[in-house]
Structure 1
Amino acid sequence: MNDKNAADHRVKMTRRLAMALAAGMVLSTAWIADGKAQTVSSSPRVLKFSDHEPLGGMRTRFLKDVLFPAIEVESNGRLKIEDHWDGEIAKAYDALGAVSGGQVTDMATVVPEYTAKELPLHQIFKGFPTGPSGSRQIEFLQRVYAEVPAFPEELEKNGLVHLFFGTGYPVAFYSSQPMENLDGLKGGKWRSASFWHLDFLRNSGATPVTMHWGPEIYDALKQRTLDGLMVNVDSGYMLKVHETAPNVLVSKDLWLGHVYILAMNKSVWDALAQEDRDAIRRAGEKSYTALGPVMDASFDNQLKDLKAAGATVRSLTLEEVNQWEDGIGVPGIQSKWAEDREADGINAKAALDAVSSIMADFER
């Protein structure tokens, strides 16, 4: 893809993202218009925030355009967010340490997959191949934290307090060759980053491949040393995987489980006045009402962008998704993971059972 086409694609994504975020931005504007920000503190408490991704995707723009303004409004200007993006303060794998120490940043986006040692139980989220999307996905995560104390406790052990859940797009399968359905995984070499997804691929009859995320994936697909990629649909698009693997199978029911936790240093949280802690909680709850529709609209727009870029995109039926899930031995994979964690002294079985029970309430 030449520079002009790449720029055109970025423009299209930006326009579609702006449309998807409109509802959330209108909501935050309505709060301000409602008069909640009439009394503004002359010297607000500035909270420093760090994110490893650039400002521009659905998740990052939502934080910037909806959640952070809501925090300022709900606190009547007593709190202000100083936001830093694209790993300016801390890279993805360093985020937990940066915020837990309290010296580098007050708040940060923490991704459990990058910190499996510190957050072992949080790895459970990626252990489900299917799950809810949109607002129901947020409802699921909220229920887990409310009903399974081990999750917020695991954060607290690392000096963190959870403020807000962010999630990514659902999983997509990018194939270099035409693939009618997920039976086409058999015999191919497929790349994924998650250890859970590598097991899902293996039990689908594929040869799982681990590779660094970068241009080498694009090159491997082009050279046919790699047949496909199992990844969230937007990451594949941004890496231009669709140019060499233009056959895409996707579904909103293909659960990514890649949870982005907006966390605050616990000492910073404890030092805030109760009215400011309450304001942050209110801002989060009100922002969630806009997040579900934004996630749904952004997903639909992402598929339109892929098709416009020349990819062949097919949405799998719920029956197809369920059939694939039933055939890859998920209970055995989960049980083996829990047994290994138990051997390390982690009470993983109880947490897995509790999360599985909640997930069952969200079955399609």
Structure 2
Amino acid sequence: MTRILVALAVGLLAAGPAAAQETPAGMRIAGNFSSNSKHVDNIEKPFFTGLPGATGLKLEMNYNPMDVVGVKAQDALRLLRTGAFDVMSVQIGMASRDDPFFEGLDLIGVSTNMADLRKAVDAYRDAFDKRLQEKFNAKVMTLWPFGPQVFYCNAPIKSLDDMKGLKIRSFTPSMAALIQNLGATPVTLQFSEVYPALQRGVANCGVTSPTSGNSGKWPEVTTHFLPLSVSGSVQGHFMNLDYWKKFSPAEQAKIAAEFKRMEDQMWALAVTANDDAMNCNIGKEPCKEGTKASMTLVDVSPADQKKLDEAVTKVVLPIWKESCNRVDPACTDVWNKTVGTARGFKID
């Protein structure tokens, strides 16, 4: 009898690690907002649906856009940390309220075109991933932008000076700082909340990419379009770290390769789709993929660009330095060595 009990105990000990390494049977995903149809319907949903076939893993995919499952963008990092979802599409600017370090990837006015933004993202990626793993038990799978973040307004404007006194949708702390510097009031809203806010006058203007605004039907509730880019609205797909570790190294390599493919598709969309969406917003040809509207185009003046550039050094970087160094005294040094070096900025 003793020999039988010993044998059973040894068998259970041997089975323990093997069971812990067993490939998960399913993947629970909270995707992007459903109104971002170009990203969700054309790239994200097909990616997750096809992931088992592309990797050869037997995974049951449970995919839903975050607004369908009632997830707030600002709660994403905490939900990942608890394992409520295995993978989440994260609006980093909204989620950075839990840790300002993450917003350093895409501070307002620092990287206003896609080429510059990619340099910043590549420079910050490793530091970003390390901090995400340490503080939120999650791993970076993708980092990509929606595209240049521009202004949609339902009030007649001719320049940034006309923003004074308006209520403007904001989704990052540094964007709120810029809006306040313009004499306007920032209104924090996630993407799915903006259309009704513009419709009801809760907000006078919203900031998003031309593609997202057009696909989200913002031209139905706005009249003036100012294509002054203030950032790229970097998103990410993050995976719960405990879930990631359940895959073998070979399986992880296959999964990472597929996520990289999706990331490249998202970058390509940010570069190629926004010119078409801008044309569609103002009723100009060619408008091949978006919905044609008749917004009034507000030309970006040198004075507007100068006002944005000045705000970076006078307002955005100092405010971010204060909030981030309060959480981590090394924050500024990390940023200067990564994004700052890549983009030619330095925080003193």
TM-score by length of 2: 0.73
Structure 1 residues 300, 65: closer, same or farther in 2, change over 3 A?
farther
Q: TM-score, normalised by structure 1?
A: 0.71
**Equivalent residue pairs, number:** 305
Q: What SS does the corresponding residue of 2:151 show, helix, strand or coil?
A: strand
Distance 2:231 2:35 in 1: 24
Q: CA deviation at 1:211?
A: 6.0
What letter corresponds to residue 248 of structure 1 in structure 2? F
Structure 2: segments with no counterpart, 5+ residues: 1-22, 283-291
State the one-letter code of the partner of 1:326.
D
1:280 counterpart = 2:255: yes
- Cross-structure match for 2:151: 173
Compute the displacement of 1:279 (Å): 0.7
Specify the structure having the higher radius of gyration (Cα).
2
Question: 1:303, 1:123 → 2: CA distance?
Answer: 26
Q: Is the 8 Å Cα contact of residues 171 and 230 (structure 1) preserved in structure 2?
A: yes
Q: Paired residue for 2:199?
A: 218
The question of whether the paired residues in 2 share the 8 Å contact of 1:188 and 1:227 is answered with: no
Report if aligned partners of 1:67, 1:284 keep a CA contact under 8 Å in 2: no
Out of 227, 231, 237, the position equivalent to 1:262 is 237
Pairs within 5 Å for 1:41-52: 45-51=25-31
Cα distance, 1:162 vs. partner?
0.9
Partner of 2:141: 163
Deviation at 1:56, TM superposition (A): 5.2
Partner of 1:310: 294
State the SS of the aligned residue for 1:191. strand
Q: 2: distance between equivalents of 1:227 and 1:335?
A: 27
Counterpart contact for 2:105–2:120, Cα < 8 Å: no
Once the two structures are superposed, the pairs formed by residues 49-198 of structure 1 within 5 Å of their partners are: 49-51=29-31, 53-54=33-34, 57-61=37-41, 62-66=43-47, 69=50, 71-79=51-59, 81-89=61-69, 91-92=71-72, 93-102=74-83, 104-131=84-111, 133-134=113-114, 137-138=117-118, 140-146=120-126, 149=127, 151-156=128-133, 157-185=135-163, 187-193=164-170, 194-198=172-176
1:202 aligned to which of 180, 189, 202 = 180
Within-5 A mapping of 1:28-39: none
Cα deviation digits, residues 278-325 of structure 1 (max 9, x gap): 0122113333443333222321232233222221235637x5664232
* Two-structure CA RMSD over aligned residues (Å): 3.3
Superposition pairs of residues 289-308 of structure 1, within 5 angstroms: 289-307=264-282, 308=292
**1:55 & 1:236 partners in 2: Cα distance?**
9
Residue 330 to residue 81, structure 1, CA distance change in 2 (3 Å)? farther
Distance in 1 (alpha carbons) for counterparts of 2:49 and 2:334: 32
